[in-house]
Amino acid sequence: MANAAKPRAAVITSGNPRDVATWSGIPFHMLQVLESRFDVVEVVEAPWPWWFHKFGKLLKLAALGRWEYHFSARYTAFAGRRLVAQLKAARPDVVLAISASPMAHLLVDDFRVVNIADATVRSMLGYYDSFTQHMGGDGSAANAIEAKVVSGAFLSLYPSAWARDSALNDYGADAARTQIIEWGSNIAAATTAPRQLPDGPLRLLFVGIEFDRKGGPLAIATAAALAARGIDCRLDIVGASADSFGGTVPANVEFHGFVSKATPEGRAKIAALFADANFFLLPTRAECFGIVFAEAASRGLPTISYATGGVPSAVLSGVTGQLLPLDAGADAFADAIAAIVASPTRYTEMSRAALEDARVRLDWGVWADRVAAAVSAQLAIDG
C-alpha cells in the first residue's frame, strides 16, 4: 500500500542502470534514489537485442562512417520492438528515459516519457569534438530523433541552463514542460567542516579521463605559474596517465591514472585525494554539466574552471568557485587561485558555500525529490 500513491515508473538508459559502470555510474545513482520516490515497475537492463551494436558497427563501417546506427530511425525502430513490448506489458504511468533519445523517440507516441539528459544533439554538435566525429554525417538524422523526443516528451529535465536553453531555442520545447534540475554527486557524502588554507603546500586536484578536453595541460601549466609566483603547490591528476601529457612531468605533479569507483580501494583513494586537496582545478573546454563538480562541492572544495557549457549551473562563480572566460590561460588561472589564497576568509566562505550547495542543490536525493514533484504536478495538470 505504501506505493499506491506513487506514480508507476519504468527506467531506461543506454545500458544497464543497475551496473555502476554504465555512463560513469550516473543512471545507477539515479535509480537508487528514484526507487524510493516512484513505484518502479520495470528497469530495462538490456534495452537493445544482442545484435544491435554488432551489426550497427558493421553497417556504419560499410557506410564509411557517414551513418550512425544509434540515430537511424529505421534501425532503432526495428531493434526496439522488444523494448516497446516490454514497456507496454509493464503499463507504467511514466517512462524515465535517462540520456536515451535513440530509444525514447520510439516511445513518446505511446507513453509519458520523462526525458532526462544533460545535453541535446544540437548543443553537442560542434561543441564536443568526439560526439561530432562520432556522428559521421551532418547530424540531421540525430537532430530529427532529438526533435521528436523533445517535442513529444511528457517532461524534459536537464541539469543546466545551457541544455535547457538548447531544448527551448533549438527544438521549440514547451517551456512549461522543460525544467532545470541539477544533478548530484557520485561519491558518498562526508561530514566535513568548511576548509581552511593549509600551512604547507597548496594541493590542487584534477579529475578527468579525457586529459586534453578536460584541460590537463593547462592545469599543469597553472601549477607552474603558481610556483613562479612563489606559491608552493602540488597537483594530483586522476583519470589519466603521464603518457597523456607527452612531456616531462614536473616534480610537483603526480599522475594517479584511472581510479575505479566500483572498488572499495578505488573509492578510498578518491576520497583521500579529495580530502587532501585545497582546490578542485578542472579547466575543461567542453562540459555538459560535470558530476565531478558536485563531488568537489560535497567535499567543500572551491572549484576553478571555465565558464562553458553546463559548468555555470554546477559551479556558482564567485560563490562556490571561480569560472574564467575561455580565452583565459594559465596565468589567469594562477591569478584567480592566488587571489583566493591571499584571503583566507574568502577561501573558507567559498568552502562553506560549496558544502551548502552540495546539501541543498547538488544532491541525488534532492534531485529525485524534485523529479517526483515535477512528474506528480504534471500528471495532475494533464489529468
Residue 195 lies inside a defined structural domain of this protein: no
| 267 or 169: which leads in pLDDT | 169
pLDDT in the model for residue 130: 87
The three three-digit cell numbers of residue 162, written as one number = 545551457
- Continuous segment of H or E residues that includes residue 278: none
Residue pLDDT, tens place only, 261-306: 888 999 899 999 999 999 999 999 999 999 999 999 999 999 999 9
Please, which residues bridge with residue 202 across strands? 233
Do 152 and 225 share a domain, yes or no? no
Residue 138 has pLDDT above 90, yes or no: no
Residue 1 has pLDDT above 50, yes or no: no
Which of 119, 182, 126 is CA-nearest to residue 149?
119
Do 219 and 180 share a domain, yes or no? no
Confidence band (pLDDT; 50, 70, 90) for 65?
confident
pLDDT in the model for residue 132: 86
Domain that holds residue 87: 8-184+363-382
- Residue 160, CA distances (Å) to 151, 296, 376 in order: 19, 17, 22
Residue 306 lies inside a defined structural domain of this protein: yes
Residue 94 has pLDDT above 70, yes or no: yes
Do 376 and 351 share a domain, yes or no? no
Do 139 and 226 share a domain, yes or no? no
pLDDT in the model for residue 134: 81
Count of structural domains, the chain = 2
Do 142 and 221 share a domain, yes or no? no
Residue 372 has pLDDT above 90, yes or no: yes
Distance, in Å, from the CA atom of 81 to the CA atom of 59, rounded to the nearest integer, reads 20
pLDDT in the model for residue 135: 81
pTM for the full model?
0.95
Q: What is the mean pLDDT of residues 348-366?
A: 97
Residue pLDDT, tens place only, 79-89: 999 999 999 99
The alpha helices in the chain, defined as continuous H runs, are: 26-34, 51-62, 73-79, 81-90, 101-104, 121-124, 129-135, 140-152, 161-171, 216-228, 264-276, 291-298, 311-314, 330-341, 344-360, 364-382
Do 245 and 327 share a domain, yes or no? yes
Q: What is the mean pLDDT of residues 166-181?
A: 98
Distance, in Å, from the CA atom of 277 to the CA atom of 378, rounded to the nearest integer, reads 43
pLDDT-above-70 percentage for the chain = 98
pLDDT in the model for residue 3: 46
Do 239 and 307 share a domain, yes or no? yes
Vertex 72 angle, CA 68 and 77, to 5°: 140
Cα first-last separation, the chain: 22
pLDDT in the model for residue 191: 67
Residue pLDDT, tens place only, 182-211: 999 998 777 679 999 999 999 999 999 999
pLDDT in the model for residue 188: 78
Residue 69 lies inside a defined structural domain of this protein: yes
Do 237 and 340 share a domain, yes or no? yes
Q: What is the mean pLDDT of residues 154-166?
A: 99
Q: What is the mean pLDDT of residues 157-169?
A: 99
Residue 341 lies inside a defined structural domain of this protein: yes
Residue pLDDT, tens place only, 24-52: 899 999 999 999 999 999 999 999 999 99
Distance, in Å, from the CA atom of 325 to the CA atom of 233, rounded to the nearest integer, reads 24
Do 137 and 214 share a domain, yes or no? no
Residues for the chain: how many in total? 383
Do 260 and 347 share a domain, yes or no? yes
For 189, phi and psi rounded to 5 degrees? -65, 145
Do 337 and 254 share a domain, yes or no? yes
Task: Give residue for cell 534532492.
Answer: 366
Residue 356 has pLDDT above 80, yes or no: yes
CATH number assigned to the domain comprising residue 129: 3.40.50.2000
